[in-house]
Amino acid sequence: PIDELRERLRGAGSICVLTGAGMSAESGIATFRDALTGLWSRFDPAQLASEEGFRADPALVWGWYAARRDGVRRAAPNAGHVALGAFARRHPGRLTVVSQNVDDLHQRAGNAGTIRLHGDILEDRWLEACKRRPACDTLTATPGTPPRCAECGNFVRPGVVWFGEMLPAGALEAADAAAERCDVMLVVGTSGAVWPAAGLAGRARRGGAHVVIVNPQPSEIDDEAHTVLRGTAAQLLPALLDGL
Ligand code: APR
């Protein structure tokens, strides 16, 4: 079906690509739910990816994100990211990436307008809205612990969406619009376990898009796809997009 899909992509006025952790697996960044290697089979998400967990042990959570940040900085976009970025350069405005990933590999590969539903792991932000004037900016930082405001004790935390938290304002609306209007949706490297991101495939299908899943394993949203390609991002995205 690659050739048939290439014809569809060639004629598609609008393409939306929904990506998950599997998109970055071939860049050496661990996924969350792969057996054995997934982060959630080795770490407790409640302890490490929630506000309660951060408040309970800020140094533990800050250290875990510091290690993940190093991994992201050392990682390079893989052939899948590169194929998406090259397509976007050849066809400005035709392809929108909506990612659940908090790394910056899509942006580094050339998809500048990537919609990041779960935030940015490289961004710092305040744990609480600062209640003082001037706002928190007098930082103290003890190595291995999160920086704090010397005035009010506010913590710095990574700019990612933790379990139970709201998505960045406007991100879901923009993602919904991209899913609604696209002619083809490529769903790459996601287990479909986390909502509302997982709902975007069904949204695209109801909007009339041809939905393609790229994943070596079955996912929870396979039944939303018209076509399922059992393979990896770095193998299949170049095969689907290069030369179009
Ligand atoms: N190419 C394509 N897909 C792959 C590859 C690869 N090389 N390697 C693994 N996969 C697939 C796996 O089969 C799995 O279906 O990627 C998917 C990764 O699923 P998860 O680890 O659950 O990641 P994701 O779907 O992005 O998780 C969603 O959960 O923990 C939260 O906020 C976190 O954004 C994350 C969200």
pLDDT given at position 131: 78
Average pLDDT over residues 101-108: 98
pLDDT given at position 175: 98
pLDDT given at position 133: 77
Its sign, for the CA torsion 48, 49, 51, 52, is negative
pLDDT band of residue 230 (cuts 50, 70, 90) is very high
pLDDT band of residue 108 (cuts 50, 70, 90) is very high
pLDDT given at position 138: 83
pLDDT given at position 127: 96
For residue 180, pLDDT over 80 is answered with: yes
pLDDT given at position 27: 98
For residue 234, pLDDT over 80 is answered with: yes
pLDDT band of residue 137 (cuts 50, 70, 90) is confident
Average pLDDT over residues 162-172: 96
Counting from 1 in the atom list of ligand 1, the atom nearest the Cα of 32 is 21
pLDDT given at position 157: 97
pLDDT band of residue 134 (cuts 50, 70, 90) is confident
Percent of the chain residues past pLDDT 90, beyond the cut: 91
**Pocket of ligand 1 from Cβ distances under 6 Å:** 20-22, 25-26, 31-34, 38, 100, 118, 188-191, 193-194, 214-217, 219, 232-233
In SS3 terms, the chain reads as CHHHHHHHHHHCCCEEEEECCHHHHCCCCCCCCCCCCCHHHCCCHHHHCCHHHHHHCHHHHHHHHHHHHHHHHHCCCCHHHHHHHHHHHHCCCCEEEEECCCCCHHHHHCCCCCEECCEEEEEEEECCCCCCCCCCCCEECCCCCCCEECCCCCEEEEEECCCCCCCCCCHHHHHHHHHHHCCEEEEECCCCCCCCCCHHHHHHHHCCCEEEEECCCCCCCHHHCCEEECCCHHHHHHHHHCCC
For residue 151, pLDDT over 90 is answered with: no
pLDDT given at position 135: 84
Residue 187 Cα to ligand 1 midpoint, Å, equals: 11
- Our answer to whether residue 226 is catalytic in this structure is no
Q: Which of 81, 118, 210, 226 is catalytic?
A: 118
Indicate the average pLDDT of the chain.
Answer: 96
Average pLDDT over residues 128-144: 86
Counting from 1 in the atom list of ligand 1, the atom nearest the Cα of 33 is 21
Instruction: Name the nearest CA neighbour of 135 among 150, 119, 120, 146.
Output: 150
Ligand 1 mutation pick, 39, 40, 65, 190, max ligand atoms within 8 A of CB: 190
Average pLDDT over residues 35-62: 96
Ligand 1 mutation pick, 194, 200, 219, 232, max ligand atoms within 8 A of CB: 194
User: The whole model's pTM is what?
Assistant: 0.97
pLDDT digits (tens, 9 = 90+) for 186-226: 999 999 999 999 999 999 999 999 999 999 999 999 999 99
